[in-house]
Amino acid sequence: MIGLLNIGSLVIGLIAWLLPVVGLMQSKKNDFKIWGLLSSLSLSACSISLIFQLYYQYHLVNIEDWSALMDTTGAVIFAATVLLGVTVILNILSLVVLFKRMQTANYRG
């Protein structure tokens, strides 16, 4: 059952990346209200994904599986860094596109 934390972390991490992309596609329709919700959900999904990894690491410590902990910690740190970095970049990109769309909509009247 505890192994599902890794699968859940992966799925929720992918959702964290998918939500800003959905927001970028919605911005073409001038639906600016949805961006805040999608961005919040994206950052929340990223946080939940990282927490799942922390719980898995905590489980390895509790069962004293030091070899698994030593073997996986580097990869977990790298994956967490990539997840957080890409999530932040996608949300910033989405925000920039939103502001440009809002300026264009304001100029039109």
At 34-83, the pLDDT tens digits run 888 999 999 999 999 999 999 999 999 999 999 999 999 999 999 999 99
Residue 11 has what DSSP assignment?
H
**Residues above pLDDT 90, as percent of the chain:** 69
**What is the pLDDT averaged over residues 92-109?**
80
Q: How many CB atoms lie within 10 A of CB 71?
A: 11
Q: H-helix or E-strand containing 71?
A: helix 66-108
| Separation between Cα atoms, residue 94 and residue 100, nearest integer Å | 10
- The pLDDT value given to residue 34: 84
Domains of the chain: total: 1
Domain with 85 in it: 4-108
Contact 5, 56 (CB under 8 A): yes
- pTM of the predicted model, to two decimals? 0.88
